[in-house]
Each structure stands twice: as C-alpha cells, then as structure tokens.
Structure 1
Amino acid sequence: MTDRQKAKAYWRENLRYLFFLLLVWFLVSFGAGILFKDTLNNFHIGGFKLGFWFAQQGSIYVFVVLIFVYIRLMNRLDKKYSYNE
C-alpha cells in the first residue's frame, strides 16, 4: 500500500467514525430531547422526566462520553496505519 492509498484509507475510516459519532449525538440531543420527549417523559430519573433530563443534561453527558470514545478510536486508528507517535 502506497503512502497516498494509506492516507486515503485512514481518512475514509476517520470520516466513518465521525459520521457515526455525530449521528449518535444528533439522535440523543435532538431525538431524545425534542422528538421523542413525550414518550421518554413516561420514565423518570432522579425525580425528573427522562425527556427533560436528556434535553437539559443527558445530551451533554453523552457528548463528553463520545469525546472519549473518539479519542480511543483515533488512537487505535493511528496505530493501525502507523501514524502514532
């Protein structure tokens, strides 16, 4: 595999990770906080309706978790394509 092919494969896989993680973030923030809020409000967390909780705090927690997932995925991807330091 040439360096150019290696770089293309690296970025293709990187963009796939980004798309998937942004899709998860969108579904949690927009989906759970806005679209599915009425259904989720039938459940409670800590005395608050689940739809409200996702809109106020849950999507932020998921975003922070996604940052750490992205770091882990990128470290593995860097090692796979020998771009690690």
Structure 2
Amino acid sequence: MALDRTKDSGNNSSQATGNWKPIGCEEKRAAVHVEMERVNKLPANSSYATHRLRVLNKVLHLISIQRTASQNEELELLFAGISL
C-alpha cells in the first residue's frame, strides 16, 4: 500500500515533500544559545552536560569563522546531530 503524501495535513506537509527552508547563521546561533541555557541548568558534574556544552561551543566556533568546505560539512553534521 503506497502512502499518498498529497493528503498530509498540518505541520508535517512540508517535511513530507522535502521542502524545508535551511536556517541562517543567526538563527542557528540563537538556537545554540537557547540550548546552552538549557544545558547550563543541568547538574555541573553531569558528563552529558559537559559533552553537550563542548559540542555547542564547537558549533558556535564554526559558525563564527570563515569555513572551508570540510568545516561547513562538519558544522552541518554537528548541527544535525544536536537536534535543536
């Protein structure tokens, strides 16, 4: 049985068709800062929080510099992996 994607409704319709708008650097930076605020509320001795902050700081660093193609790929992979 095939799924008819034309009948999707609600917020999932853009995901079903694959038409998503990539977010810009400022939106990414804002999302990372919001996530950092959330992680900073976790216990200071949490290994998850420590690792997450390290990854978020790496993302901020890559956003702020002029990047090579491989750094652009790394940034996109990191950003996709942190699920903001």
Provide TM-score, normalisation by structure 1. Answer: 0.32
Provide TM-score, normalisation by structure 2. Answer: 0.32
Choose 1 or 2 for highest CA Rg: 1
Higher fraction of helix: 1
Higher fraction of strand: 1
